[in-house]
Amino acid sequence: MSTPRPSTTPTRPVLPAPPLPAAGAGWALLFDVDGTLLDFADDPGSVRVSPALLALLHDVHAATEGAMALVSGRELDDLDRLFERPRWAAIGLHGLELRQASGSFRRVIVPQAGQDHMHREVRALAARFEGVQVEDKQLAVALHCRRAPEQLARLHGAASELMARLPGYELQPGHQVLEFKPAGMDKGRAVTELLQRAPFAGRTPVYLGDDLTDEHAFDAVNRRGGFSIRIGEREPSAAHFTLPGPAATEAWLTRVLHALTHGAPTHARLPHGGPARQP
């Protein structure tokens, strides 16, 4: 009887829970929205923000002196609707839209003819797949498979073929979604841009995200010596820390707020049971 050979496939160590800051630590907090702060819904338009989470985010915004931002694939108008039009910095459409803490705004401009062509092609593609939802974001179009997950693999193949007819656009896969958007911008580039301006400049960036679209931001934050926090269990990931889901994000953020305003005790414990470290 032969002895089975041990596996030579390297395994990544289990990611630890994220740390808590010391009182007054110069953190800049950046949050993905769907899947990180909020649970997913079959219809992205049906998602709601609880009053408790909204109040917590306002308190964190104050505790960080405004160095807090939402970073989402949603349009900024949609983020403002969800969060009741806060005066926060925000990145929308994976970086195609960006609002600084000062209120200044920039939006990537693309030719209207190219936009119209992309919309026609993507809608025609979606019509071939039963159960696939079309989300029109103006600059981008997302095709959701949450109601028909069995369609995702075939849709991805067809979408990849379509890209040859959409110069200047790129395909962004996500959680049960494929998004067609103008090429050349992603969450990592937008986060880097945001971190160059007050009140983010000079602070330690802390980024929380759950999806493939957040990997660019994890890389950007890691290069700056920050904290990259994956929400959920998706692998592989460039993140250095993890939390299991939006409920754990809210619980950890409550502790972060207390630590920033009162200090983190040396015996503080985190959602996964790991000891807190105080950067």
What residues are labeled active site? 32
Q: pLDDT tens across 103-139, in order?
A: 999 999 999 999 999 999 999 999 999 999 999 998 9
Same fold, 27-107+185-262 and 112-182: no
The pLDDT of residue 146 is 86
Q: pLDDT tens across 231-279, in order?
A: 999 999 999 999 999 999 999 999 999 999 987 654 444 444 343 434 5
What's the fold here for domain 27-107+185-262? Rossmann fold (3.40.50)
Beta bridge partners of 173: 178
Tell me the torsion sign for CA atoms 20, 25, 27, 29. positive
Q: How many CB atoms lie within 10 A of CB 73?
A: 28
* Residue 39: pLDDT band with limits 50, 70, 90: very high
What Rg value do the Cα atoms of the chain yield, rounded?
Answer: 20
- Sheet containing strand 68-71, strands side by side: 105-107, 97-99, 89-92, 68-71, 27-31, 204-209, 227-231, 241-243
Q: pLDDT tens across 80-103, in order?
A: 999 999 989 999 999 999 999 999
The pLDDT of residue 40 is 84
Token duo for residue 185: 């911008």
Q: Which of 3.30.70.1020, 3.30.70.2190, 1.10.3720.10, 3.30.450.40 is the CATH number of 112-182?
A: 3.30.70.1020
**pTM for the model:** 0.84
Domain coordinates in residue numbering, the chain: 27-107+185-262, 112-182
The percent of residues in the chain predicted with pLDDT above 90, rounded, is 80
Distance of CA 11 to CAs 3, 7, 14, Å?
21, 10, 9
